[in-house]
Structures are given as C-alpha cells and as structure tokens.
Structure 1
Amino acid sequence: MAVKIFFPTSCSAAENGLLIGRWMADHRSAVILAVLHFPFIPGNVKCYLAQLQQSTGLNLSVLGTWSYWKAEKDEKMQTFFDDLSSIFNHQPWLRIVRDTSSKFWDCNIERSGSEDQEEVILLYCDQRKLMLSELHFVTEKSEIASVFNTVAKSRPLFSLDKYDEGPVKLTHWQSDGMEASIIVELAKHVSFPLCTFLSLFASLLTNFFSARILSGKPLSFLWSKLSTCEQLGKRLEHLRLVTSTERAKDHTQFMRKSNTFVSLLLDMVLGVLLISWLYRENRIGQLANILLPVADRVALELQELLQWLMGAPAGLKMNKALDEVLGRFFMYHIHLWISYIRLMSPFIESILWYIGLSACLGLSLALSILSDIIALLTFHIYCFYVYGARLYCFKMHGLSSLWRLFRGKKWNVLRQRVDSCSYDLDQLFLGTLLFIILLFLLPTTALYYLVFTLLRLLVVVVQGVIQLTIELLNTLPFYAMALRLCRSYRLAAGVKFRMLEQQSGKPLRLLMQINPLSYGHVIQIYRLPTSQYYPKDSWGTLCKKLFIGELIYPWRQKGDKQD
C-alpha cells in the first residue's frame, strides 16, 4: 500500500530543514504543515512541539528532513541529516529531496528493521485554502476530512514564520508576512460598542412591542394579521442576532450571522434606493394622483360586472329574484367602498409619503406595507368572496345531505361516519321539495361564487408574489453565495486530483484541488430559517375546497393548526 504525503506548495522553495507535521497511521499518510529551518536546538524544538500539542490537540512531530539542493550535494550536510533521525526518532522517517537539476523529486521512507522501499505519492495542496475551507458531504473519519481538520487546527503553528524572533523559524503559507489590515483592526474595535448599542436598541423595541397593552386581545389579533408587523418582528430578531456580542461557536453559527448581516444590509440598501426613486421628481404625488382614477375605474368595472351578472350572463337562465337580491347586495358594498375611498382621498398623498419613509428600514418592510395596503384596498372583494363562498357552501352541504336522505343514509355526527337510516313519507316529501329548490337555485349562486373566487385568487396571486419576494430577501444566504462566487474554495464539497509528473522509480506527484459546492447546495445548506408563512394546502386539497365552497387561506402561520 502506498504512503501518501500531503505537501504544502508554499514550502516548495524552503531552505533545508525539518518537516513538521502529523502522521496518520490509520490512513498511512503524512500531513506536512511547515519546514523548520537551521539553526535550531533539538531541545527547543521538542518543547515547542509539546506546546503546540497542548494548544491544538494534535499529535504534531518531526516527520523527517527536507533538502533543497541548489548545487552539488554536501556530504557533511547529508551526514547531519542522517543523524537527525536518531535524535527525533519518528517512525517512519521521511526524506524528501528536491534537486534543481531535475524536475522530479525524490522521497525515501525509512522504517526500523525494514529495508523494502515503499511506494510514495506526493500530494501538493494549498494550506491557506485548506485552513479556510469548510468541508461538506465527507465523513469525519475519512482521510480527506482528517487532512482538512489537521490544517484547520494548526493555526497556532502559523503564528511564527522565518522572519520572527522565536525559538524556531518556520516556512508555511504565511511566510511572506502575516495578513493584517489597519481598516480591519479599526473595524473590530469600533464594532463592539456599536453592536452593544444596536443590541440594546433592539431589546428596547422588543420589550415595547411585547408590552401588556400591545399584547392584549384586540391588538394582538390585529398585529398577527398584518404582514408589516410580522416582518418588523422578523427583522428585530435578525438585528438582535447580528448585534450579539457572543462569538460564534462553530462554522454554522458564523455563517448564519454573516448571512443575516448581509441580508439586512442588502435589504436596507435596496430600501434606500427605493426612497431615492420615490422622492425624485415628485413621484409620490404622481402615484397619489394615479391611485384615485384607478380606484374609480375598478369600482366602475365591478359595477358593470354585477350588472352583467344581473342580466343573462353568457345566455344562461338565472333565477331572477335571487339574482336581483345578490346583485343589489353586492352593489351596495361597492358604493360603501367608493365612499370610503373618497373619504380617504385628501390624506392619500400624506399616507404614501410616510409609507415611503419606511423603506429606509428595508425593502422587505416596504413590500409588507404594500401587501397590507392591497389587502385593505381589496377588502370589498374579500367580502364578496366570503359571502358567495358561504352561500355556495351552504347549498352544497344541503344538497349532499338531501342526497343521502334519498338513499336511506344519514351523517352520524358522534361517530363521524355515514349510517343507514329509515325515513317516513313526510320526511321524504319535504326532503324532495328542498332538494329541488336548492338544485334550481344552485346555478345562480355558483356563478356569483365563481366570479368572485376568480377575483379573490387574482388578489392572492399578487400578494403571493410580494410575499415570495420578501421570503427571498429574508432567507437567501447572500453571504454564502458571495463566497461561492468570489472564494469558491471556502465552501468545499470534496477534492479532486490532477497528475503533475510520473516516472518509474520516482514518487507520483499529484495536485489536490478543492471541489466547491454547487449553488443549489449552498442555498440548501445555508438558507436562513423560513419566515412566518408557508403554503397550507396541496393542490389537490385546494381544488377540493374550491369545489365544495370552503374558504381558502393559502398562507398561514407556523403555529396554526390545520382546519
């Protein structure tokens, strides 16, 4: 079985020295982390490795020697390398040699009591990418996961390099200098008091909205029905999560915090852009001037629709008395709605002006207010739908009960089943009379129910599109998607290998590259918790409810029970 050596590309040009790393006996592989340069004191090296083992929890040791021959080999240096194996005494002992005169490397593995030469596979890897990557879909006990885990836990080893004053001088991925930024350091110092202030502000708002007066029966019912209040509560939770001063315990919490922060930031930026568009060239006044003619046009179209239904729609023969009653009843509601709009017309521009200001809290909040406004402006359509659905449902239940009467059946309320039952002549006569009345009145009721259900579904579709947009702003992992786009190695699904060189008698050289997660998996894994609403019924259940006339509410809260 071949021995695999994971060698960092940053150490390829290092001077002669010792190989610091971890030997994984279960997988017969070695992970090289750094090259320790001369001069050094063996006792200091052993003390330094002991400290690293305590801080990292990894069994780090000297695995062998690294030789970079730029000229002819020095016999004294070769003899010195031979003596190092007896000082550190690690089994197996690796000897990796890079000669500038040849593009092929040489690697020997020495074991005590064994003279057989083992096959070696050199796997080049990027330490920085391995340390910053989060591996997915790989079992924790696999060899690749052990390599990633070893590099990730070896951060204390990378704190010293060959330019620092210390007991040892190392070459690793940060040998060209520690990554630092003055702006980043200043941001870290400023973020703590800012986060503390925002967290206090969010907690005050939460306590205000959870006060006993606002959580009373009428107001709590109203808040639960308004999309604006639900979205405001959701954003307050996000703000408290982002401004929390507690450090993320693991990668999952860090990604959730980062995705929430980017979601909030993007939401507010889009809201500011919306404000700049609305308050430019007096677009608020233009919208207010357009709204009244549109409302009058909608009312006129509804009146014409009702007059068409009160006549002979599509040549159908309707029950004239019931048609007249229903038409006048719905026409009266339209007149009430027109009067309401006329009463609110002087204040519409001011209302739109203040609503536009709410976009500074985020585009999602502005969309929630728009959804509530649509619900209020189409409240008469909802009333039409409820009236028509209740009347149609009453007739459908009456016809189904009378149909069971003709077959000698009845519905047992206690046992929730259909049982046999015997009826006398008077009951059958009365049931037949009621059945005929309901059957001949059904087409008129069904036509009104069909028309107003279609209008209600149109409003629901518009609100569903708005709710879907809010859902995307709340749940899409924008930070994770940006990482996948700009730093694809940060989210790894696995690794792939590309062959560099192969020659008989020499180690096989492979380049290990990171396979990034697909965008679909990124969204699936790092998607934020869903908002308060989600679809309630399947398509089959929805069609069944539409046929029998039950009221449909395609969106509901998580805590609600099924009807």
Structure 2
Amino acid sequence: MSIASLSTLFYFILQLLHILLSFGSQSWIYIKSARILRSTWISIRIRCCQILYWPIFLQDNGLRSLSCVEYAEKAALHRHSMWSSLALDVLLGNLIGWALLYNAESACWWVMNFTGEITYKSMRSSCAWLMGAPAGFKLNTELAGVLGMVSLNAIQIWSTLSVFLGFLSIYIIKGLAISGILFGMTIPAALIIDIFLLATLHISTLHWLVSLVYSTQTQALADLWRLFR
C-alpha cells in the first residue's frame, strides 16, 4: 500500500507538470512539439499508466483465480510479464543512464564526430557520385547537376544549423540519461527515435522532393503513352 501510494503521488506530480506545460495547449509550439516528439509522448503516457496501475495488476484477482485454473494461469502470466518487463526496463535505464551521465562529454564528442563523418564524407560523396554517374539522379548531365547542387545546398544548410546548435547536445545527452534513470530505458529510446527523425529531416525532405519529381515524370510518360496508343 505504501508503494502504491508513492506511485500515485509520483503520477500526480507528473500529471501536474503536464498540465503546467500544456497550459498553452492551443499554441503552435505545443502542437508542433507534440507532433515531433510523438513517440516520446506515447511512451511517457504508457509509463505513467504503468506507474499508477502496477500495484493493482500485481495483487491477487480474488475468488475467480481460485475457482478457475485457466484464469489464474493467465493472470499470473500477465503479472509476471508486467513486473519483469518493468523491472528490466528500469534496471537497463539506470545502468545506461548513469553510465551516460558520467560520460556525457565523451558521448557528445562521439556523436558530433559521427554526425560530421556521415554528413561530410558519406552524403556529400554520394551526391557528387550521383551528379555524374550513369546511374545517378538523371541520365541528363545538366539536370543531374541541378538536382545534385540542390541536394548539396540542403545538406550544407542543415550541417551549418547543426554546428550552431551543437552546444545543446551535451544537455540533450544529460536529459536522456536522467529520463532513463527516472523512467527506464523505453523513454530515452523513444526520445532518441524522435531526435533521429528530426536530425534527418533534410534527408526526408530531399526524398520527398525527388519522389515527387519521379512520380510526376512517370505520370507524364504514362499520359504520353496513352496519347500515342
């Protein structure tokens, strides 16, 4: 009962913080942040429900579990799977969170180097290869050059913005570590997914633009074929 009361108090504090943060829930910033951090919001909501209801799930289910063996086995399996997954998640979150918190600077340096390696060598060399290779953007050399320059400019602009915002990486890593310590491994994993999607937004935009050009050309060729047929 005391553990259940502490869990309920912890859930109440989280809900109070959520109400304070969502005070301007109709604002543009809140709506966009909820869309960008969609996986994190869902994981936090699931973990808050687990924190609130896990003492109820772990208790005995009354006389029905005594009268029906099948129901008792299913309830016991459900209880064991819930507390084992929750305990393992919290244990992994604490181990990785404390390790990441004590090595935040080295992790930040590794992330920056890895990002620069991917941006400056892999992506730019791939775009330069697609500008002139026979199997590149287009068989037309001039059009392939235009598409390649657009892609290189987008990569350069995004890499410049990431360099300017690089000082926030240490705080992001510490936030991931603290969230892992408090909530378990699921929350920082969902936050990493959202950050990765945000960091690769320029690649998704380029993919959408190239797909739009390709679909438009395919539709035009199909219309031309129907016309001649």
Structure 1 pair 202/243, CA: closer, same or farther in 2 (3 Å)?
farther
2:26 pairs with one of 216, 229, 235: 216
Matched-pair contact (CA < 8 Å) for 2:4–2:52? no
1:248 pairs with one of 61, 72, 85: 61
Matched-pair contact (CA < 8 Å) for 1:275–1:356? yes
1:275 pairs with one of 78, 93, 97: 97
The residue type equivalent to 1:194 in the other structure is: I
**What is aligned with 1:524?**
none
Equivalence map 1:82-481=2 (5 Å) = 192-203=1-12, 205-206=14-15, 209=18, 213=23, 215-216=25-26, 218=28, 219-220=30-31, 222-226=33-37, 227-244=39-56, 248-249=61-62, 250=65, 251=72, 252-253=74-75, 255-280=77-102, 283-300=103-120, 301-313=122-134, 318-360=139-181, 361-407=183-229
Structure 1 pair 243/405, CA: closer, same or farther in 2 (3 Å)?
farther
Structure 1, unmatched stretches of 5+, are 1-191, 408-563
CA–CA distance in structure 2, aligned partners of residues 221 and 376 of structure 1: 12
The residue type equivalent to 2:34 in the other structure is: W
Deviates most, 375-384 or 308-317: 308-317
- Per the alignment, in what secondary structure is the counterpart of residue 165 of structure 2? helix
- How many angstroms does 1:376 deviate by? 2.0
CA–CA distance in structure 2, aligned partners of residues 222 and 381 of structure 1: 20
**What is aligned with 1:417?**
none
Matched-pair contact (CA < 8 Å) for 1:231–1:365? yes
Structure 1 pair 317/357, CA: closer, same or farther in 2 (3 Å)?
closer
Structure 1 pair 224/380, CA: closer, same or farther in 2 (3 Å)?
closer
Structure 1 pair 338/404, CA: closer, same or farther in 2 (3 Å)?
same
Structure 2 length as normaliser, TM-score?
Answer: 0.79
CA–CA distance in structure 2, aligned partners of residues 340 and 384 of structure 1: 17
- How many angstroms does 1:238 deviate by? 1.5
The residue type equivalent to 1:402 in the other structure is: L
The residue type equivalent to 2:184 in the other structure is: G
Matched-pair contact (CA < 8 Å) for 2:180–2:188? yes
- Per the alignment, in what secondary structure is the counterpart of residue 385 of structure 1? helix
- How many angstroms does 1:271 deviate by? 0.9
RMSD: 2.9
CA–CA distance in structure 2, aligned partners of residues 205 and 263 of structure 1: 22
CA–CA distance in structure 2, aligned partners of residues 256 and 320 of structure 1: 62
Matched-pair contact (CA < 8 Å) for 2:100–2:173? no
Structure 1 pair 388/210, CA: closer, same or farther in 2 (3 Å)?
farther
1:445-492 deviations in whole A, cap 9, x for unaligned?
A: xxxxxxxxxxxxxxxxxxxxxxxxxxxxxxxxxxxxxxxxxxxxxxxx
- Per the alignment, in what secondary structure is the counterpart of residue 139 of structure 2? coil
CA–CA distance in structure 2, aligned partners of residues 320 and 234 of structure 1: 52
Q: Which structure shows the bigger proportion of residues in helix conformation? A: 2
How many percent identity over aligned positions? Answer: 23
Structure 1 pair 396/266, CA: closer, same or farther in 2 (3 Å)?
same
CA–CA distance in structure 2, aligned partners of residues 317 and 247 of structure 1: 67
CA–CA distance in structure 2, aligned partners of residues 374 and 345 of structure 1: 15
Structure 1 pair 316/357, CA: closer, same or farther in 2 (3 Å)?
closer
Structure 2, unmatched stretches of 5+, are 66-71
| Structure whose CA Rg is larger | 1
CA–CA distance in structure 2, aligned partners of residues 224 and 278 of structure 1: 27
- Per the alignment, in what secondary structure is the counterpart of residue 318 of structure 1? coil
1:396-432 deviations in whole A, cap 9, x for unaligned?
A: 222223333334xxxxxxxxxxxxxxxxxxxxxxxxx
Q: Which structure shows the bigger proportion of residues in strand conformation? A: 1
**What is aligned with 2:69?**
none
Structure 1 pair 377/320, CA: closer, same or farther in 2 (3 Å)?
same
Alignment coverage as a number of residue pairs: 214
- How many angstroms does 1:388 deviate by? 1.0
- How many angstroms does 1:308 deviate by? 1.6
Equivalence map 1:43-54=2 (5 Å) = none
Matched-pair contact (CA < 8 Å) for 1:199–1:244? no
Matched-pair contact (CA < 8 Å) for 2:100–2:107? no
Matched-pair contact (CA < 8 Å) for 2:130–2:137? no
- How many angstroms does 1:267 deviate by? 0.7
- Per the alignment, in what secondary structure is the counterpart of residue 243 of structure 1? helix
CA–CA distance in structure 1, aligned partners of residues 43 and 145 of structure 2: 43
